[in-house]
Amino acid sequence: MKKALVCGAGGFIGGHLVKRLKAEGFWVRGVDLKENEYGNNMCDEFILGDLREPSVARKVVEGIEEVYQLAADMGGAGYIFTGEHDAGVMHNSALCNLNVLDAAEQAGVKKIFYSSSACMYPEYNQLDPDNPKCSEDSAYPAAPDSEYGWEKLFSERLYFAYQRNTGIDVKVARFHNIFGPQGTWTGGKEKAPAAMCRKVAEAEEGSSIEVWGDGKQTRSFLYIDDCVEAVRRLMESDFSGPVNIGSEEMISINDFARMAIDISGKKLSIKNIPGPTGVRGRNSDNKLIREKLGWEPQKTLRQGMELTFKWIHANVQKAAQEVS
Ligand code: NAD
């Protein structure tokens, strides 16, 4: 039985990845600062631990063949684009990467996956909402618009430096807005799809929901199962990346809000308000992943949003019942 370690197993993507690895027959150890709050914890062994501590990183890699490093100080636009958490985001995430990668290499781990982000792409290529450029080779000259993106870029380089100097097999993916059920949907760290579903689910018939910015900014969103499939294909391939894992189905944020409203069946209007928005336009470019891994998303945005809305709607109702 192959032994895998998932760092950040208490998080959204980590929880789903553990489920997938278990379905494939892996023995899985998970580590995180917290347990998965939605019960998505199928690890054979779960360690509550802080990967900023080198001793914790050394302990969790023992006996492991492959590592998935997803632990990061992370959140949606309301967390990473306001500037308030910059020091923590850079310090905490960099320490997790420095410690886990070094411990893995020392312990003789064969392969390590690292989850980078589309946030590392330069802002100057994402000023036109209708025509953003995010091909893998457009990363330099570097100019991410957030410290979160700069840390991702630093860590990508760290992983490839270890691969060159020590021979550890490294796989790096740049995730573009992954969403789905069992992810953060409230509390300030939620990302746009979950926030949109929550606002719509909470809104009273005939009222309005608030959407940050003018709503003309564009993004693409990838459903979680498609993301996990791409991660596994990358891990099994002889390709190291960096490679985009995202959807090419770009949509404006106001149209995205309209989609969530339509799914709910409610009559709601949109109120655009000032807020942290990030770059004007972003879309995945899947030419490389298609060529190297033969991967395509299987779910449309609408299909993914229907599943996500259903799950968040149920949580909103449950929370309302608990209050009353
Ligand atoms: P998440 O916040 O749900 O998961 C990250 C997990 O890391 C959390 O459970 C957190 O507690 C844990 N963690 C943070 N600091 C830690 C520490 N010091 N020690 C141990 N655990 C720690 O986020 P996610 O959406 O599941 O993202 C997973 C990875 O993918 C992250 O690296 C993130 O930057 C990257 N990513 C995600 C997206 C997305 O759209 N969700 C997009 C781009 C990149």
Q: What is the pLDDT of residue 20?
A: 98
Residue linked to tokens 């960096």: 242
Q: Relative to the CA of 177, which ligand 1 atom is closest?
A: 40
In three-state secondary structure terms, 291 is helix
What are the residue ranges of helices labelled H in the chain? 12-23, 54-60, 77-80, 86-106, 147-166, 192-202, 224-236, 253-264, 287-293, 301-323
Instruction: Provide Rg for the chain, Cα atoms.
Output: 19
Q: Is 238 exposed, middle or buried (0-12, 13-18, 19+ CB in 10 A)?
A: exposed
Pairwise CA distance, residues 296 & 278, whole Å? 26
Q: Are strands 269-273 and 208-212 parallel, antiparallel or unpaired?
A: parallel
* 157 pLDDT above the threshold of 90: yes
Residue range 215-249, pLDDT digits in tens: 999 999 999 999 999 999 999 999 999 999 999 99
Which domains occur in the chain, in start order? Answer: 3-179+223-245 (3.40.50.720)
For helices 301-323 and 253-264, give the axis angle rounded to 10 degrees. Answer: 60
CA dihedral of residues 195, 80, 231, 114 (deg, nearest 10):
-160
Give the pair of three-digit tokens for residue 249: 């189905």
Q: Relative to the CA of 50, which ligand 1 atom is closest?
A: 19
The pTM assigned to this predicted structure is: 0.97
Return the number of other C-beta atoms located less than 10 Å from residue 265's C-beta.
7
If one compares 292 and 277, the residue with the highest pLDDT of the two is 292
Query: How close is the Cα of 266 to the center of ligand 1, in Å?
Result: 33
Pairwise CA distance, residues 101 & 282, whole Å? 29
CB of residue 10 inside a 6 A radius of ligand 1: yes
Q: Take atom 28 of ligand 1 and give the residue whose Cα is closest.
A: 70
Q: What is the pLDDT of residue 77?
A: 85
* 324 pLDDT above the threshold of 90: no
Q: What is the pLDDT of residue 323?
A: 86
Contact 60, 47 (CB under 8 A): yes
Share of residues in the chain with pLDDT > 70 (%): 100
Q: What is the pLDDT of residue 112?
A: 98
For the chain, the maximum distance between any two Cα atoms, rounded to a whole number of angstroms, is 61
Pairwise CA distance, residues 43 & 45, whole Å? 5
* 155 pLDDT above the threshold of 90: yes
Q: What is the pLDDT of residue 170?
A: 98
Residue range 64-100, pLDDT digits in tens: 999 999 999 998 888 999 999 999 999 999 999 999 9
Q: What is the pLDDT of residue 226?
A: 98
Residue linked to tokens 């573009």: 176
Residue range 13-69, pLDDT digits in tens: 999 999 999 999 999 999 999 999 999 999 999 999 999 999 999 999 999 999 999
CB of residue 50 inside a 6 A radius of ligand 1: yes
Residue 219 main-chain phi, psi, to 5 deg: -150, 170
Query: How close is the Cα of 265 to the center of ligand 1, in Å?
Result: 32
* 203 pLDDT above the threshold of 90: yes
Q: Relative to the CA of 183, which ligand 1 atom is closest?
A: 3
Q: Take atom 11 of ligand 1 and give the residue whose Cα is closest.
A: 33
Peptide linkage before 242 cis (omega within 30 of 0): yes
Mean pLDDT of the chain: 97
Contact 104, 112 (CB under 8 A): yes
Query: How close is the Cα of 200 to the center of ligand 1, in Å?
Result: 25
H-run or E-run covering 169: strand 169-175
The residue whose CB lies within 8 Å of the most ligand 1 atoms, and thus the one to mutate among 47, 53, 60, 70, is 70
CA angle 165, 170, 173 (to 5 degrees): 135
Among the listed residues 9, 113, 1, the one whose alpha carbon sits nearest the alpha carbon of residue 60: 9
Confidence of residue 184 (pLDDT cuts 50, 70, 90): very high
Q: Relative to the CA of 36, which ligand 1 atom is closest?
A: 9
Residue linked to tokens 């850079």: 90
